[in-house]
Every structure is written in C-alpha cells, then in structure tokens.
C-alpha cells in the first residue's frame, strides 16, 4: 500500500520541505507520463529547480521504482544527456467510457500506453444504475486478465454523457440514484473513481494529446447523438460552477421548434445533432426521397444511424448530403455565437459525423461568415479532430492522473 499515490499524497503531518519535494516528484511523474522521456534539463525548465536538486529527486524516484534511465539523448555538440522516463509498471490507470449504447474499458500504463485491446460491453445507459454491476465485473475481469496488482492502479476515470459534477460525483441525467454514482463505483471498485462528462474529457484529450496541445483558448464540438461542447480557456479545461458548462446543444435556436428531450423546444440539438439527422432521415425514407440510404438500411427506417447517413453522403447520396449541409448551417450559426463570446484560437470538430467533414465544414464556414463579426470569424480555424474514438477514454485517464497527482 506504500505506493506513490499514497506515499506522495499530501499529509498534514509533513513539513513544508517534504510536501514540496513530493509535489515536485508528482510533477515530474506527470510530465513524464504526458510527454515521454526527458532529460534533466528539460525537467528543470518545467519544475524550476537547479540541476543538483533535480538529479537528487530523480535518483530518489529511481530508487522507489517509479522511473528509469533510458540511455542518452541527442546533443548539438557536447556531452549527451541522460534520458529519464516512467517505468511502465510504476502504475496503471483504468479508463471507462460509458456511451448511450455501449461501454468501453481500457487500461493505460505509466507511460500512457494502452495495454489492453478493445473491450466493449453493449449496455444501454438509460437502463440506469443497474448497469453499474456489469461494468464493474467486466472491468475487474480485464484487470485480472492483465494480472495487474490492485495497489498499482492509480484509480479509475469514467466518462459519460449528461450533466456531470465531478466534484460531487453526481450525474444528474443518467445513472441517477440516491447516492452519487462516482461513490457507488468507488465502493464497488475499492479505489479512486473520477467521473466526468464526455465532451469535457474529449476536450481535455485534445488539450493534452491533440490539436489543442500548444493552444490556450480552444473549443471542441463533439457531434454524436447530441452536441457536446468542451471549453478550454487560459490553457485549462473549463467546467463552470457545477461542472455543467457547455450545454451548447440546448441553446434555443428556433422559435416554436421541435420538442427536445430536455423539455424545451427549438434547441440546437433538435436540428443539428445525430438524433436530428436520424429523425430527418426517417422522414425522408418514408417519403422515398433517397434510394441509396434506403438500400444501406435494407429499407428499414429503424436501422438508420449517423454512420449510415455519412456513408450514403460519401457515396454521393443527394438527400444525405443536403441533410448534412443543413446541419452544418445550424451548427455554424451556433458556432458563430461561440466565436463571438470566446474569441477562440480554433474549434475542433469531433464525433462520427466528422467523417463527413467535406459536407459539413463548408456550410459551417458559410454560416460563420454570415453571423460573425469578421474580426473574429475570419481568422478562426475550424479543424476536424485527429484523435480517434479512443480520445475520451484517453482523456479521462489523463484527467484522473492529474487529479491524483495535482493534489496539494
């Protein structure tokens, strides 16, 4: 049990110096996790300490089995520096992604390498708190299979849709019960559990590993069944008072619009989300407005999902393309709001729909030009995410790491 998270956790009976040392060690481990092997000098730039001090910390960490020397780096004409990196088995993090219709689990080692294959459990989130036990069982099996010592697991990061307050561990939308869902998981797993909203974990993944890496003010829009907004301001993930910031999909966009699942009418989500596309596609199919899309789903409207529409569009289906263009226009108008409010460096578009970026980006750009002040709208960079479907799970794992390691 005398493992880093415990050992380096802030204890009140520590003196100032010990606290500082441990905080610096945690910083080093975090840095090596996120950015890989580094030299003493690189780390010095980051933790602002003199060479002798860093070397002494690195030696302590080496003796504790946390890090190892990894040969020598390059020099531009001088002695070659030693490289230090986390030891693969120094610790592990478990990432769990609960989506509407399935749950994925992955385990990462101390080098931020995913050491598991694809583990997917089909489960419907609307079934509520009853899906907790299967998820725990599924995860425990993977941990056992990989023969990872429990005390080497830093904790479990869990991303899910809905109004998630990571401080209290409550999800107000899904998996609602009389106790905070994070606590339910914590009890069952017997270890640290962090829950976070999926749009935010993906934004965090972009910030640490993706297109937002060197930027300070970036928005990420995740398009799947709903519309998720991730906000990065001043180089940090923004969550708001309760963690509910980013309810972009429920901005009222249309007067007397369609009823949204949130109870209001005319939300952006009713006209520019995966749900909206499927609704429009079903209507179109009934009216026989597309033969290609119909074929893809065997003429069964219930089989329509975002991927079918994206595929049909990519195959040249006019009806699907026009639906995507329509979604793009509305989304672009919404983005114009965001750009004027945030003046971000870029907006990163993610989710299944982004595979149709050729159809959706032009109308977005057009709407931005129409609705945005040119000083703000002309310079904005709209990109498609390069992180794959694992972004969320990677993000929530990193988020957990930072939460554990940033304590105090």
Provide the binding-site residues for DNA, judged by CB under 7 A: 15-17, 20-21, 39-41, 48-53, 55-56, 72, 75-82
Tokens 């006019």 correspond to what residue? 318
Could you please report the per-residue DSSP string of 112-139? S-B-S--EEEE--GGGGGGGHHHHHHHH
Residue listed under structure tokens 């199919």: 285
Rounded Cα–Cα distance for residues 200 and 232 (Å): 9
x-or-dash string of contact with a copy of itself, 3-42, rule CB under 8 A: -------------x--------------------------
Q: Select the residue interacting with a copy of itself from 168, 177, 217, 326 (CB under 8 A).
A: 217
Where in 73-132 is the site for a copy of itself (CB under 8 A)?
none
Residue 15 partner contact from a copy of itself, DNA, none using kind-dependent CB cut-offs of 5 to 8 Å: DNA
Give the neighbor-by-neighbor strand order of the sheet with 119-122.
119-122, 102-109, 92-98, 153-160, 193-197
Looking at beta carbons only, is 205 or 367 nearer to a copy of itself? Answer: 367
With CB cut-offs between 5 and 8 Å by kind, which of DNA, a copy of itself, none does residue 248 bind?
a copy of itself
Residue 305 binding partner per list DNA, a copy of itself, none, with a CB distance cut-off of 5 to 8 Å that depends on partner kind = none
One residue of 50, 74, 147, 300 binding a copy of itself per CB under 8 A: 50
Measured from the CB atom, the residue of 141 and 373 that comes closer to a copy of itself is: 373
The one of DNA, a copy of itself, none whose footprint includes residue 21, by CB under 5 to 8 A per kind, is: DNA
Map tokens 């390069």 to a residue. Answer: 386
How would DSSP label each residue in 306-341?
Answer: HHHHHHHHHTT-HHHHHHHHHHHHHHHHHHHHHHHH
User: How far is Cα 175 from Cα 123, in angstroms, rounded to an integer?
Assistant: 12
- Length in residues, the chain: 408
Q: Which stretch binds a copy of itself (CB under 8 A): 6-14, 270-278, 332-340, 389-397?
A: 332-340
Dihedral, CA of residue 138, residue 140, residue 143 and residue 145, to nearest 10:
-70
Q: Which does 241 bind (CB under 5 to 8 A by kind): DNA, a copy of itself, none?
A: a copy of itself
Contact predicate 107/117, CB 8 Å? no
Among 322, 340, 352, 365, binds a copy of itself (CB under 8 A): 340
* CA nearest neighbour of 369 among 328, 401, 399: 328
Smallest gap from residue 60 Cβ to DNA (A):
10
Q: Which one, 43 or 105, has the nearer CB to a copy of itself? A: 43
CB within 8 Å of 42: residues ≥ 6 apart: none
290 binds, among a copy of itself, DNA, none (CB under 5 to 8 A by kind): none
Does 1 engage in binding with a copy of itself (CB under 8 A)?
no
Report yes or no: 219 and 232 within 8 Å, Cβ to Cβ.
Answer: yes
User: C-beta of 330: minimal distance to a copy of itself in Å?
Assistant: 13
Of the pair 202, 239, the CB lying nearest a copy of itself is at: 239
Residue 340 or 352 having the CB closest to a copy of itself: 340
| Interface mask toward a copy of itself for 240-269; x: CB under 8 A | xxxxxxxxx-xxx---------x-x-----
Q: Exactly one of 59, 75, 373, 378 binds a copy of itself (CB under 8 A); which one?
A: 373
φ/ψ (deg, to 5) at 310: -60, -45
Distance of closest approach, residue 6 Cβ to DNA, in angstroms:
21
Angle at which helices 132-145 and 181-189 cross, to 10° = 40
Compute CA 295 distance to the chain's CA centroid, rounded to the nearest angstrom.
34
- Phi (first) and psi of residue 35, to 5 degrees: -115, 5
Give the Cα separation of 314 and 62 in Å (integer): 53
Alpha-carbon span 122 to 133, nearest angstrom: 13
From residue 166 to residue 185, the character string flagging contacts with a copy of itself as x (rule: CB under 8 A) and all else as - is ------x-------------
CB of 55 to DNA, least distance (A): 5
DSSP state of 169: T
- Please report, as ranges, the residues that interact with a copy of itself according to CB under 8 A: 16, 50, 163, 172, 216-217, 229, 231, 233-234, 236, 238-248, 250-252, 262, 264, 333, 336-338, 340-345, 371, 373, 375-376, 379
């Amino acid at each position: 049990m005398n493992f880093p998270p415990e050992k380096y956790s802030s204890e009140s009976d520590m003196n100032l110096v010990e606290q500082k040392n441990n905080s610096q060690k945690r910083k080093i481990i975090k840095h090596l996790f996120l950015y890989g092997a580094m030299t003493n000098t690189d780390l010095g730039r980051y933790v602002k300490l003199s060479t002798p001090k860093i070397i002494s910390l690195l030696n302590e960490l080496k003796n504790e089995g946390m890090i190892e020397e990894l040969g020598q780096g390059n020099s531009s004409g001088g002695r070659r520096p030693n490289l230090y990196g986390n030891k693969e088995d120094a610790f592990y993090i478990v990432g769990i992604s609960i989506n509407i219709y399935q749950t994925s689990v992955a385990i990462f080692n101390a080098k931020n390498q995913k050491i598991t294959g694809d583990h997917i459990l089909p489960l419907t989130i609307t079934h509520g708190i009853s899906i907790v036990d299967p998820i725990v069982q599924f995860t425990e099996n993977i941990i056992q299979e990989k023969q990872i010592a429990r005390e080497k697991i830093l904790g479990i990061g869990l991303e899910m849709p809905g109004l998630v307050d990571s401080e209290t561990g409550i999800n107000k939308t899904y998996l609602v019960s009389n106790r905070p869902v994070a606590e339910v998981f914590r009890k069952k797993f017997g270890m640290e559990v962090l829950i976070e909203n999926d749009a935010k974990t993906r934004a965090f993944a972009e910030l640490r590993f993706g297109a937002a890496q060197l930027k300070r003010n970036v928005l990420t829009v995740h398009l799947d069944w709903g519309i998720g907004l991730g906000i990065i301001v001043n180089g940090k993930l923004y969550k708001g008072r309760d963690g509910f910031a980013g309810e972009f999909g429920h901005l009222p966009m249309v007067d007397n619009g369609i009823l949204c699942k949130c109870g209001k009418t005319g939300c952006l989500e009713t006209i520019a989300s995966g749900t909206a596309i499927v609704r429009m596609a079903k209507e179109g199919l009934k009216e026989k407005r597309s033969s290609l899309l119909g074929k893809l789903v065997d003429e069964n409207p219930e089989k329509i999902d975002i991927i079918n529409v994206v595929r049909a569009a990519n195959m040249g289906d006019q009806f699907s393309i026009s639906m995507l263009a329509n979604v793009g226009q509305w989304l672009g108008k919404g983005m114009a709001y965001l750009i004027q409010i945030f003046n971000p460096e870029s907006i990163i578009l993610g989710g299944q729909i982004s595979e149709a970026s050729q159809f959706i980006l032009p109308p977005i750009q057009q709407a931005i030009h129409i609705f945005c002040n040119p000083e703000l709208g002309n310079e904005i960079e709209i990109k498609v995410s390069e992180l794959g479907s694992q972004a969320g799970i990677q993000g929530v794992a990193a988020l957990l790491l930072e939460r554990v390691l940033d304590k105090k």
